[in-house]
Amino acid sequence: MRRSVIAGVGAYLPERVMTNAEMATIVDTTDDWIVERTGIRCRHIAAEGEKTSDLAVHAATRALAAAGIEAAEVDLIVLATATPDWTFPATATTVQARLGVRKGAAFDVQAVCSGFIYALATADNFIKAGQSQCALVIGAETFSRILDWTDRGTCVLFGDGAGAIVLKAEQGQGGIADRGVHSTHLHADGRHHDLLWVDGGPSSTQTTGKLRMLGNQVFRHAVVNLAEVVTEALAANDLQPDAIDWIIPHQANRRILDGTARKLGIAPEKVVVTVDHHGNTSAASVPLALAEAIADGRVKRGDLLLLEAMGGGFTWGSALVRF
């Protein structure tokens, strides 16, 4: 049984931290409102001139070092982002050049906050099909660039960052005890396009545009879709919730994380939470949370992890992985 095993994980956050107090000097908001409604206390913001590819290269370099793998071994780069450096070429190709990778494919995946799960599923399928032996899967975003800094309903929510994993092909026995990716499930429902979108683009407005969101409607969909996708992953692998060591969710709102865990009967201590100090970093949030939980010793080799996310489109999905 050919599986994609996580060989290493890396993360990068821009140096600058922006607190809620600083946010309150820009828009009509308070630390109390932001903490109570979202759980967010601060977020990282990319420096002037710091691009999504810069964040991605740092995270990927750290993931390769953690895996003990040379860039020359990588034959696939899948980079999830909704904030690419340029309209084209793909940010993945910039990262490829800067890492010194010279073979295989490099492309971006656009599924907004679900992007990392989409990218992971794509790379996992390349590996399972035998088309890749060693893949870099990256989620990298500079959402600060597409925020409307006069809209208190959105600008307080997001942050910048990047996370990356190295996936390697390995042979497993075929059971749940195998290390590696056991399942991925992806979904989309394009009817909800205008609940969370950016009001610009090359073909529509010839501008980059700003993020727009009907937050409370997105919230309601998020709790339902995420609970469904977790239930789907458990059923597909014939598992009960207590078999999962850690849930590594997309970090949009503390209340969504708590609400989903409650709905599923999952202990809140098993949910990795970073939204308080990262904000919502879109496609970067799942690998950033994974990297943090590995670095602080919570996630250990052999743990069973359930990664899940939901974002604009709508798109949503899960990945069940034994680390």
- Sites of contact with ligand UT7 (CB under 6 A): 29, 33-34, 37-38, 113, 152-153, 156-157, 215-216, 218-219, 222, 252-253, 256, 280, 310-311
The yes-or-no answer on residue 280 being catalytic is yes
Phi-psi category of 251—alpha, beta or left, where left has phi over 0 and alpha has psi -120 to 50?
A: beta
Q: Which residue is nearest to ligand UT7 (CB)?
A: 215
Cβ(169)–Cβ(126) below 8 Å:
no
Judged by CB, which is closer to ligand UT7: 4, or 225?
A: 225
Residue by residue, DSSP assigns 222-238 as: HHHHHHHHHHHHHHHTT
- Count Cα atoms within 13 angstroms, Cβ side, for 65: 9
Q: Is residue 113 annotated as part of the catalytic site, yes or no?
A: yes
Between residues 116 and 246, which has the closer beta carbon with respect to ligand UT7? 116
Nearer Cβ to ligand UT7, position 218 or 291? 218
User: Which of these, 228, 286, 234, lies nearest to 260 by C-alpha position?
Assistant: 228
Min. distance of Cβ 202 from ligand UT7 in angstroms?
23
Annotated catalytic residue: which of 44, 58, 185, 250? Answer: 250
CA proximity to 230, closest of 305, 294, 168: 305
Q: Given the complex with ligand UT7, which of 31 and 178 has the nearer CB atom?
A: 31
Rg (CA), the chain: 18
- Residue pair 307/321 in contact (Cβ under 8 Å)? The answer is yes
For this structure, is 250 an active site residue?
yes
CB of 35 to ligand UT7, least distance (A): 11
Q: Minimum CB separation from ligand UT7 for residue 102, in Å?
A: 35
Q: Specify burial of residue 142 (Cβ count, 10 A radius: 0-12, 13-18, 19+).
A: buried
Q: How far is the CB of 253 from ligand UT7 (least distance, A)?
A: 4
Considering 20, 44, 58, 113, which one is annotated as catalytic? 113
Active site residues: 113, 250, 280
